[in-house]
Chain A
């Protein structure tokens, strides 16, 4: 079976662990627990009759004082860059991470996930921010780790991008 490593990246508290838990275990918890280092999960995803064993590296959130260690990204085939849709400032962190990924391991497939879409009343991403994000030319999904909205489909999409570039 094909094995691929993907990394879930983004600022602290954007919902990386919740998205992974929803995708792998179909579970969601309201309680926020800060991820330390990296937690690795796996799930077999089938795309057009091809089964892929996805190794999902849920990496700690990046902030001003704690940058993501480059070695976590080693051997990664693709990334999901998560943005908190209720905190527009997390877009900037996403850009910074993505630029570092491009610099250190090259341009690998990426999907932007605008997470917490269930909190529509607190949504903070305006048209201008969305237009800026679209300039990267990467797919963008609005997701909710809570309701499961677009969670499976975004992982499926990334898997497809990995095996059929």
Chain B
């Protein structure tokens, strides 16, 4: 619609209403220069001292520095002024003169800002949540959850999984001998070795208990059998700790060893907890077995149950052993020891 399509009284009404809202103020400039020729409008709204003919426009308004002379028409939307007001600034290139027009858009901008604020807060919150998920279940899966391609269901799904426990040997006496800050740093170093090895093999960190970690395999999608993922993860964890111990040895620090237990079986997966605090967990008989295996494992030892051994087959050089496990009794399990501490290998 153009001006001529509207009956004159309506056009005049709209123009009057709009002009009243916009509080326009303008400068007429010498063509190709920033020298002010004429001044008009509600300048008191935009600055304390009214611009004068003969002044340079950018001397009056800092915002115009580097914007003048006007070589082509432009629009600067929502320029924030010192007193918190917002103005749209138009630079108009005409044949004989150039023009600068200021229009107040404070109310409209503040209204839109509320929506922007909510939207940007949401973006930041979503990024924080994604990062938290990323730490527990790895980048790939957290991305899929964020995109809505996958969800962790609280319904209590039954699934065959492998559960891995890993723990630092002799950590309690180490803890007693050293300052708490040093213990915290050591733990962080160990976790930096352990956790990526779990995430890279599609494991999910279920719990971190001081110096110990419980991880489950088979919950997150993987091309491999959950027992194979858990075993590869265990090997990589021990290798990472072996490398870390090398650094500690060269820095004159005490080496620490780890032991691993893996068992497999059916578990119920789900979200456990109250409405205020919930955590994903796996519950099954084999979980307790895996914990017992880990507590019996020596430095660098991976102990696995029969189910895991059957799945892995004979090619992984495990030795059959019989152990008496607390609360379980005599059990036939399988052992493999890998180098973990320098000097023992």
Write the residues of chain A forming the contact surface with B, with a CB cutoff of 8 angstroms: 3-5, 12-13, 32-34, 36-40, 42, 55, 60-61, 63, 66, 69, 71-72, 74-77, 86-87, 89, 122, 124
Contacts and interface: CB of A to CB of B under 8 A. Distances in A.
A37 B63 CA distance: 13
B74 A37 contact: no
Interface stretch (B23-31, B37-45, B116-124): B116-124
A124 B131 contact: yes
B323 interface: no
B272 interface: no
Contacts of B63: 40
B127 interface: yes
User: On chain B, which size bracket covers the interface?
Assistant: 20 to 34
A105 to B, nearest CB: 11
Nearest to B88: A37
A12 B121 CA distance: 10
Interface in B65-84: 65-67, 74-80
B76 A38 contact: yes
B328 interface: no
Contact of A77 (B66, B75, B127): B66
A74 B73 CA distance: 11
Contacts of B127: 86-87, 89
Nearest to B91: A71
A55 B65 contact: yes
A75 B74 CA distance: 12
Nearest to B71: A74
Contacts, number: 73
Contacts of A12: 116, 120, 123
A38 B78 contact: yes
Interface of A is mostly: loop
Interface of B is mostly: helix
The 9 closest A-B pairs by CB, nearest first: A37-B78, A75-B66, A5-B66, A39-B80, A71-B74, A34-B117, A34-B116, A12-B120, A34-B120
Contacts of A71: 74-76
B109 interface: yes
Contacts of A13: 120, 123-124
A5 B123 contact: no
B339 to A, nearest CB: 28
A37 B109 CA distance: 9
B79 A40 contact: yes
A77 B63 CA distance: 14
B80 A36 contact: yes
A64 B20 CA distance: 34
Contacts of A61: 120
B86 interface: yes
A51 to B, nearest CB: 15
Contacts of B8: none
Nearest to A122: B131
Nearest to B58: A3
A49 B80 CA distance: 32
A86 B128 CA distance: 9
A77 B66 CA distance: 9
Given A74-B66, A76-B66, 5 more contacts: A34-B113, A37-B80, A40-B79, A63-B120, A122-B131
A55 B62 CA distance: 8
B159 to A, nearest CB: 31
B131 A74 contact: no
B117 A42 contact: no
20 contacts: A3-B65, A4-B66, A13-B123, A36-B80, A36-B86, A36-B109, A36-B113, A37-B86, A38-B76, A38-B78, A39-B80, A40-B62, A55-B62, A60-B78, A63-B123, A69-B75, A69-B77, A74-B66, A87-B127, A89-B127
A121 to B, nearest CB: 10
Nearest to B114: A34
A149 to B, nearest CB: 21
B155 interface: no
A32 B66 contact: no
A107 to B, nearest CB: 17
